[in-house]
Amino acid sequence: MSHDPDATLRDMRRKLELAGSPSPARDASALMDVVQGDAPPWTPLDDTQIARLNQLVQRRVQREPISHITGKRAFWMHEFAVTADVLDPRPDTETLIETALTGPFTSVLDLGTGSGCIVLSLLHERPQARGLGTDLSDAALTVARKNAGIVGVTERVSWQRSDWFSDVTGIFDLIVSNPPYIALDEMSSLAPELSHEPQMALTDGADGLSAYRTIARDAPRFLAPNGRLLVEIGPSQAAAVSGLFERNGLQEIAIHRDLDGRDRVVSGIKSP
Ligand code: GLN
């Protein structure tokens, strides 16, 4: 039997809306794209496609992130491969990219790289630069390696399993990180999608500041003179994280806002 794609989309939207998805229309068309592939959107659907769509809708009804279902997420200039082993790249993190690109760098270290979206986007923008991405999770590094191929910078990036700086060697003129910064007691009030993501990428299991304490303490030893440290933060953490930067001797500490006007990045410079 053949099915009208418009009626199918409407039906999907209704189910997703009922399940509480904040973006039912966008979800429905993303799932439709998975099943239709390159066929024009008006192409009638067959029974197999409808069955497949029902399965995908069911996963989204369970509030699995759309990126886990489609296997990809657009970030900066690329479509990154995404699995349940990595944090889903978020538009907020593009503020970190923009801030990093306001200054020069030829070597960049990305701590807790996850999908690799930060270091890979930076290397894409700076064809002379080399990068190192670290993660505690080997599974995440596997996803990051795949993404290096997608971005086309495999030759300029290395990967290292490391607990923050524990297994890092080298000196960098830029260090970036989007560490887990959600406090444990905030986790239960967050969107259901977050329960599908790696918890170690979201929370430190404490007050949300543990990673910044380690990063601010150790970064100066791995930064070149005038090297920059940039971290993504939660919107309420600017004062606490700037304070940590200051106590560890970083200079020219600045807070940068995201497109919604929320504090999103703290930066500092190692004195020459
Ligand atoms: N920005 C993410 C969120 O609030 C958190 C990511 C992180 O902890 N680094 O959903």
Residue 132's beta-bridge partner residues? 109, 158
- Name which residue sits closest to atom 9 of ligand 1, judged by CA: 180
Q: Does domain 75-269 have CATH number 3.40.50.150?
A: yes
* Extents of the domains making up the chain: 5-62, 75-269
- Name which residue sits closest to atom 5 of ligand 1, judged by CA: 202
Angle at 13 between CA 9 and CA 16, to 5 degrees: 135
Q: Please give the number of the atom of ligand 1 that sits closest to the Cα of 181.
A: 8
pLDDT value of position 272: 86
C-beta separation of 106 from 85 below 8 A? no
Residue whose entry in the numeric block shows the structure tokens 């029974």? 47
pLDDT tens string 226-255: 999 999 999 999 999 999 999 999 999 999
Residues of the chain with pLDDT under 70: none
Distance of CA 136 to the CA centre of its chain: 15
Q: Please give the number of the atom of ligand 1 that sits closest to the Cα of 208.
A: 8
> Which amino acid does the sequence have at 197?
E
Q: Which of 113, 164, 181, 230, when mutated, tests ligand 1's pocket best, judged by the most ligand atoms within 8 Å of its CB?
A: 181
State the average pLDDT for the chain: 97
pLDDT tens string 152-199: 999 999 999 999 999 999 999 999 999 999 999 999 999 999 999 999
Write phi, then psi, for 178 (nearest 5 degrees).
Answer: -120, 80
C-beta separation of 222 from 164 below 8 A? no
Q: How far is CA 187 from CA 65, 197, 208, in A?
A: 16, 12, 10
